[in-house]
A and B are shown apart, each in its own frame.
Chain A
Amino acid sequence: MASQHQQAHHFNPQWYFYQPPGQVYHDPVYAPVDYRVQQVAPQQQTPTHQHQAFVTAAGFTALRPQQQRLPVRTRQQTRHARATMASEGQQHAGPSEDEMAEMQKLSNEYEPEVKGPLVGQRQSTNNLTTEYASADPVYQAKTTNLPQKYSHYRTVRGDGSCGWRAIAFGYFETLINLGDGNKFLEEEARLRSLMNTCTAAGYDPSLLEDFAEETYTLLRKVANGMQDGTAENALHETFNDDYVQNFIITHIRTLTAAWMKTHSQDYIPWVVGGSSIDQYCEQSVTPVSSELEHLSLNALKDVLLSPAGITLEVLYLDRSHGKEVNMHRFSPVNHGGYDIGYIRLLYRPLVMNDSFLSRSADISNRGHYDILYMPSDLPPVPVPAAVPTYLQYASQPYHEPVYDLGLPDFMTTIPGMSYANPHQAWVGSSYADSDFFGSSAPVQQCPQPIPAPAVPAPQPQMQAAPVYVPAATAHLVPPPTQMPEELVIRTVPQANVSSHQGFAPQSTGPFRPSTWQLEADMSQHTPLQTAIFRK
């Protein structure tokens, strides 16, 4: 209650013109606390009107006509203020103005101590099981089952930005795991184009540049690191540089806010308390330590993850029934099933109880996000040196230098596609009857259509030797059972075109025109999928 005052008295120009229709903020969790606050209220009604003094003085709310209004942002402040009241409220026999102001000042300046690195190292989820070993049975059961599916996790510092940081980190990590250098360029271009959205939303692009530049720099740094395997270290280091990670988080916060403002019709139904999208963004998205909420999470997913083809899964470790953590998946369904990887977050909601409140520790967190990994999310473990001798022989191909090209293993099985000299195979002058197309053996060896690996620049050569195409077609068509029917009945020239596409250098995944050209259209079809919001 008290924080309503706090919220309202920091004047916000936009609210001035806006009178919300008496919204009541319903949250059963807070109900008992509210009740208690009102009980203490009368004894605190002093006639002093000093600035700031009233944030702790709950009685002041009685003077306020608009006490129904409690925007989302203030929840954490509410908790803060309540925590202060819980510990200080009873002592207020009649403190002077100065004392009250002093207490308020202390309370305002109080920041819970946050520990740990900004982003930790990946560790086994068995540690989580140990951590909860003495917790209540629900947590015990859930954390005991956790390691079966999710082998590792990574801690993120709980300073209010943990959700944002976890997703930003996961975004880069997923790109690294994808292992495609072109994707980094693609993403940089896409993020740069989003600057227009920011301008449209009213942000000053020349100020945003500084923040965005850090993101681009990291994208490039990580892309370069892919060559010599230092990408992960570079990422981890960067995210532990407070200044830089702050800039990156500011960048994605602003992108999210800009996206919400320019697609307000998608998000307005979920804004609590009758605020506008602009207000929501100012309260819950852009401020430096505002937490990632469900709505901003959706928007962040829509702007950053979905167009990149990244699926977000949030696993809720809470007191609900069941033996496993509840998973909610935010998949990029509207992007043609284009899917490059997963970000999995472990969400632990704040436990609201009295002892917690009076301790008032860690109250800036309404919940906390860490990063989770399934075994399949982990980067391939490099073949360790200490393998028995006979195995070492088998692993020999991994050490060939050309492996850095990122060619999948099976490419070696195709005659003419040896790692040693891939270019010669493509450039061969007698292209039409080269081994690659002439022999039907390779087609049988790879039963699926070749999933367009990132072959280094074969296209010019292919265009230079168009003669080969008609001859190739007949051999190239895999067994009919695996072909889409339309392709089979196509006339020969059309089939040629499609076979061209199959071998054109692209990012991995099925061919699609562009990741981001579709955005404007996509956004209209993007439903907010959380079950949470339906409540």
Chain B
Amino acid sequence: MASKRLIKELDMFNREPSSAVVELATVSDEDLFHLRAVLKGPDETAYEGGLFILSISIPSNYPSSPPEIYFQTPCCHPNVNFKTGEICLDLLKTSWTPAYGVVSTLEAVQQLLSAGGEPDSPLNIDLAKLLRAGDLVGAEGLVRLYTRLYAMGR
């Protein structure tokens, strides 16, 4: 059932591409449960122009459990772990509903980037400190730097 649903989702993505997700495909042809996605940095934010690679692993009881999504391209965001790529998004944890798909979840991740995040419960402490101190210019500069450094120019 999980694979049937995944095939359907991938099929739908190929027919109607999302504005947020540039690419979504399985890592290898044999394994349907590991996907690779390329997420577009949202326009008019410090992430603009960046292309972020994410790895997605689908649990066997999908869609009853959420997919696990990690940034592979380092992403500077208060709610993303810079080293491991872990994302702190309630949709990926407690708020998951089977009515969401992989693509809509990725879109929510993009929304997380454009919304700026929640610096009070950070995974990226350095950035959160800047934000909490109110240094928005500094924070934006940092984000731009890392986006340019890692997510651009490939």
| A interface residue numbers (CB < 8 A to B) | 5, 7-13, 16-17, 49, 51, 54, 63-66, 73, 77, 203-204, 206-208, 210-211, 243, 246-247, 250, 253-254, 282-283, 286-288
Query: A11 to B89, Cβ gap below 8 A?
Result: yes
Which of A7, A64, A204 lies at the interface centre, i.e. has the most chain B CB atoms within 10 A of its CB? Answer: A204
CA distance A13 to B120 in the complex (A): 15
| One of B33-41, B68-76, B90-98 at the interface | B90-98
User: Are B98 and A211 in touch, CB under 8 angstroms?
Assistant: yes
Q: Which residues of A contact B118 (CB under 8 A)?
A: 8-9, 11, 16
Asked whether B117 lies within 8 Å of A250 as measured between CB atoms, the reply is no
Measured between beta carbons, the chain B residues less than 8 angstroms from A49 are: 122, 125
Task: Give Cα A247 to B98, complex, Å.
Answer: 9
- Does B9 lie at the interface of the complex (its beta carbon under 8 Å from any beta carbon of A)? yes
Contacts of B139 in A (CB 8 A): none
Interface string of B94-126 (1 = CB under 8 A from A): 111111110010001001100111101111010
**Complex Cα distance A253/B90, Å?**
18
A-B contact pairs, 13 of them (CB 8 A): A5-B121, A10-B90, A10-B93, A12-B95, A13-B108, A16-B116, A16-B118, A51-B88, A211-B98, A246-B64, A246-B98, A247-B98, A250-B98
- Asked if B12 is at the interface of the complex by the 8 Å CB criterion, the answer is yes
Residue of A at shortest CB range from B128?
Answer: A49
Distance A272 CA – B116 CA, assembled complex (angstroms): 27
Q: How far is the CB of A81 from chain B (nearest CB, A)?
A: 12
Q: In the complex, how many angstroms separate the beta carbon of B119 from the nearest chain A beta carbon?
A: 10
User: Chain B nearest CB: distance from A18 CB in Å?
Assistant: 11
Bound-state CA distance A70–B100 (Å) is 25
What CA separation (Å) do A9 and B118 show in the bound complex?
7
Extra inter-chain contacts (14) besides given A77-B94, A246-B98, A287-B95, CB under 8 Å: A9-B121, A11-B112, A11-B115, A12-B95, A13-B112, A16-B116, A16-B118, A51-B86, A65-B120, A207-B101, A208-B99, A250-B99, A253-B97, A286-B97
Are B104 and A204 neighbours in the complex by a CB distance under 8 Å? yes
B147: CB under 8 A from chain A? no
- A-B pairs, 4 with minimum CB distance: A9-B121, A10-B90, A286-B97, A13-B111
A12-B90, A16-B115, A51-B123 known; A254-B97 Cβ under 8 A? yes
A10, A16, A204, A243: the one contacting B99 at CB < 8 Å is A204
Contact for B115 among A13, A246, A287, CB less than 8 A: A13
Q: Are B95 and A282 closer than 8 Å at their CB atoms? A: yes
Contact A204 B101 (CB under 8 A): yes
The reply to whether A206 and B99 form a contact with Cβ atoms under 8 Å apart is: no
Cα–Cα distance between A310 and B90 once the two chains are bound (Å): 36
User: How many angstroms from the CA of A250 to the CA of B65 in the assembled complex?
Assistant: 12
Given contacts A16-B116, A49-B125, A206-B12, contact A11 B99 (CB under 8 A): no
Instruction: Give per-residue flags for B1-39: 1 if the beta carbon is below 8 A from chain A beta carbons, else 0.
Output: 100010011001000000000000000000000000000
Q: Hey, which chain A residues are within 8 Å of B9, CB to CB?
A: 207
B82 to chain A, nearest CB (A): 11
What is the interface size of chain B, counting residues whose CB is below 8 A from a CB of the partner?
37
Report A-chain residues with C-beta under 8 Å of the C-beta of B97.
250, 253-254, 282, 286-288
Q: How far is the CA of A44 from the CA of B127 in the complex (A)?
A: 25
What is the number of contacts between chain A and chain B, taking CB atoms within 8 Å? 99
Q: How would you classify the secondary structure of chain B's contact residues: helix, strand, loop or mixed?
A: loop
Cβ-closest chain A residue relative to B4: A210
B residues sitting closer than 8 Å to A (CB atoms) are 1, 5, 8-9, 12, 64-65, 79, 81, 86, 88-101, 104, 108, 111-112, 115-118, 120-123, 125
Bound Cα distance A243, B121 (Å): 35
Q: Chain B residues with Cβ under 8 A from A77's Cβ?
A: 94
- From A51, A210, A283, B95 is in contact (CB under 8 Å) with A283
Please give, as numbers and ranges, the residues of chain B lying within 8 Å of A203 by CB-CB distance. 99
Question: CA A246 – CA B62 in complex, angstroms?
Answer: 11
Bound state CA distance, A459 and B16, in angstroms?
A: 48
Find out whether the CB atom of B94 lies under 8 angstroms from the CB atom of A287. yes
* Nearest Cβ on chain B to A473's Cβ, whole angstroms: 55
Q: Tell me the smallest distance from the CB of A149 to a CB of chain B, in Å.
A: 37
Nearest CB of chain B from residue A347's CB, rounded to whole Å: 24
* Complexed CA–CA distance, A210 and B64 (Å): 13
Complex CA–CA separation, A253 to B97 (angstroms): 9
When distances are taken between beta carbons in the complex, the residues of chain A under 8 Å from B79 are: 9, 11
User: In the assembled complex, which residues on chain A have CB atoms less than 8 Å from the CB atom of B96?
Assistant: 287-288
State the Cβ distance, B21 to closest chain A Cβ, in Å. Answer: 14
Chain B contacts of A206 at CB under 8 A?
8, 12
Complex alpha-carbon distance, A7 and B95, angstroms: 10
Q: Tell me, rounded to whole Å, the shortest Cβ–Cβ distance linking A535 to chain B.
A: 27
- Residue of A7, A54, A246, A287 with highest tally of chain B CB at under 10 A: A287
Task: Please determine whether B111 and A10 come into contact, CB atoms closer than 8 angstroms.
Answer: no
> Which residue in A11, A210, A253 is a CB contact (below 8 Å) of B117?
A11
Chain B residues, CB < 8 A from A9: 79, 88, 118, 120-122
Bound form: Cα–Cα A196–B153 in Å = 44
Bound form: Cα–Cα A407–B55 in Å: 61
CB closest chain-A residue, reference B107:
A13
Q: Which of A66, A203, A207 has the largest count of B CB atoms less than 10 A from its CB?
A: A207
CB distance from B63 to the nearest CB of A (A): 8
Given A10-B93, A250-B98, A254-B97, answer yes or no on A288-B64 (Cβ-Cβ < 8 Å). Answer: yes
- Tell me the smallest distance from the CB of B72 to a CB of chain A, in Å: 19
In the bound complex, what is the Cα–Cα distance between A203 and B98 (angstroms)? Answer: 11
Shortest Cβ distance from A282 into B: residue: B95
A247 and B101 alpha carbons, distance in the complex (Å) = 14
